[in-house]
Amino acid sequence: MSEIKPEHQRHTARMQRKKAVVDEHIAAAQVERGVLVVNTGTGKGKSSAAFGVVARALGHGMKVAVIQCIKGRTDTGEEGFFRRFPDLVSWHVMGEGFTWETQDRERDAARAQAAWMLAARYLADPAYGLVVLDEFTYPLKYGWLDLAPVLSALAARPPLQHVIITGRGAPEALITAADTVSEIHQVKHAFAAGVKAMPGLEW
Amino acid sequence: MSEIKPEHQRHTARMQRKKAVVDEHIAAAQVERGVLVVNTGTGKGKSSAAFGVVARALGHGMKVAVIQCIKGRTDTGEEGFFRRFPDLVSWHVMGEGFTWETQDRERDAARAQAAWMLAARYLADPAYGLVVLDEFTYPLKYGWLDLAPVLSALAARPPLQHVIITGRGAPEALITAADTVSEIHQVKHAFAAGVKAMPGLEW
C-alpha cells in the first residue's frame, strides 16, 4: 500500500474543519416553510431558474401554477413541455407582449390586473406547492398594480407554499419581503454578438 | 366613444419609437448557432436556470445530456423528474459530494476526470442539442482538470449544440470563450434566516 502523503493529510484536516462549519450551519437551519424567491436583474436566467424549480417541484409531486404576466406568445418550449402535465401544472399566459408591442398602457394595466386576480386565487390555495409569477415585477414597476395588496396576499399565503417572482427592477419593498433574492447580472449575451434568440435555449 | 387622451398618444408614440429600436436589434441578430452559456456567481439559480432550459429544449424535442460534476445525491426533484424522459434525457450524477464531504482530493480529481471524459463524448455528438455541465467550474477552479482541452472540446463541438456550464468562480478564460454569461449575485438567502433546504425548491 502507498503511504499517506502529508499534503493529503493537510487537505483532509482542512476539509474536516470546513465540514464542521457547514454542518453547524445546516443544523441551525431547521425551519420548514414556504419560501418567497425573487429573481431580478438584467441577465439571462430569471425565468429559466423559475422553470427549473418547476421541474424540481414536479419531481416531488407538487402542484404548480405559472402565470406569465407580460409574455403573449404561447409557443415557447417551456410552455409546450410543462403543459404535458395538466394534472399538476396550471400554466397561464396572461400578457399580450411587451409595452412597446402593445403600445396601449390602459390595456396593459387591465391585463396585469386580470393576471393578478388569477394569481391571488393560487396564492390562497394550499393545494399548490409552487406559484411562479413570471415577469411580475413589471406591473409593479410601471404602477399597473399596487404593491400593498400584493404583499398582503404573499404574506397570507399557505405556510408551505413557495413563490417565485421574476423580472427586472424588483421594487425594494418586495425584496424586503422576500426570503431569497438573486440579482442576475448580465456579463455578456449572445444576442449582442448577433446571435438570434435560439429555440430550446431562449424560448 | 371616448376621445383619445393626450397621455395615451404620448405613450403610444414613445412605444413606437422603442419598438423601432428593438426591431432593429432583432433584425441585426440573425446568426443561428449553438450558444455557450455560463451561469456563475454566489446566488441561487445557477443550476435551476440550466434545468429550466432543459425543459425548454425538451419542449422543442431536443436531446439533452446533464452531467453533475460535484453532487453525489441522486434523490433530487429535477433528476427524478427528467429521468422520466429516457429517450431524450441522459442524466449522470458523477460527483460524490462537496470537497468537505469526500475529504479526498485525489479521488475528487479522479471523479472529475471521469465526468469530463463522459462530457467530451456528448460534446462530440451532434444528436445532443443541449449539454449541461452542472457544477463544472469547480474541477477547473480546483485544478482537477486542465482548461485547455476543455476549451478545445467546447470550440470543436457541433455548431448547433448549446452548452450550459454552472458553478461559482468561473475561470476568466471560460468567460471569454462563452457567448452568454450571467453572474448571479446573492442578495439574500432563506438558509441564512434559518430555513431548511426545502424539497421542490432547493433540491
Asked if B19 and A101 come within 8 Å (Cβ–Cβ), the reply is yes
HSE-up of A197 (CA within 13 Å, CB side)?
A: 10
Size of interface A-B (CB pairs under 8 A): 278
CB A61 within 8 Å of CB A129 = no
pLDDT of res. A4? 76
Residue A53's nearest CA partner among A28, A30, A70, A78 is: A78
Distance from CA of B140 to the nearest CA of A (A): 18
* Amino acid occupying residue A49: A
Cβ contacts of B79 on chain A, cutoff 8 Å: 59
Chain A residues touching B41 at Cβ < 8 A = 185
Antiparallel, parallel or unpaired: β A162-166 and B89-93: unpaired
Q: Do A190 and B105 touch (CB under 8 A)?
A: no
> How far does the CA of residue A195 sit from the closest CA of chain B (Å)?
5
Q: What's residue B91's pLDDT?
A: 97
pLDDT digit string, tens, across residues B17-64: 999 999 999 998 899 999 999 999 999 999 999 999 999 999 999 999
Q: What angle do CA A41, A46, A48 make, to 5 degrees?
A: 160
Residue B38 has a pLDDT of 98
CB–CB of B100 and A15 under 8 A? Answer: yes
Whether the CB-CB separation of B45 and A44 falls below 8 Å is answered with no
Shortest Cα distance from A199 to chain B (angstroms)? Answer: 7
Task: Inspect the interface and report whether the beta carbons of A194 and B29 lie closer than 8 Å.
Answer: yes
Bridge-partner residues for B200, per DSSP? none
Domains of chain A, first to last: 34-193 (3.40.50.300)
Query: Which chain A residues are within 8 Å of B32, Cβ to Cβ?
Result: 195-196, 198
pLDDT of residue A2: 58
For residue B97, the chain A residue with the least C-alpha distance is A19
pLDDT of B72 reads 85
Mean pLDDT by 10 residues, chain A (203 residues): 77 92 90 97 97 98 96 91 98 91 90 96 98 97 95 98 98 98 97 94 95
What sign has the CA pseudo-torsion B71, B72, B76, B80?
A: positive
Contact call for A32 and B198, based on CB within 8 A: yes
Which among B46, B51, B182 has the least Cβ separation from residue A55? B51
Inter-chain touch A12–B103, beta carbons under 8 Å: yes
- Interface touch B184/A180, C-beta < 8 Å: no
pLDDT at position A72 = 85
Q: In terms of CA atoms, which chain A residue is nearest residue B166?
A: A45
8 Å CB contact of B187 and A181: yes
- Interchain pair A8, B184: CB under 8 A: no
What residue type is B131 in one-letter code? Answer: V
Cell 393576471 locates to A115
What is the reported pLDDT for A192?
Answer: 92
Task: Give me the residues of chain B with pLDDT under 50, please.
Answer: none
DSSP symbol at A193 = G
**CA Rg, chain A, in Å?**
21
Query: In chain A, what residues touch B138 (CB-CB under 8 Å)?
Result: none
pLDDT (0 to 100) of residue B2:
58
Question: Are A52 and B50 within 8 A, CB to CB?
Answer: yes
Nearest to B165 by CA among B152, B154, B149: B154
Q: What is the pTM of this model?
A: 0.95
Distance CA A29, CA B196 (A): 5
Q: Which residue of A has its CA nearest to B162?
A: A201
C-alpha cell at A123: 396564492
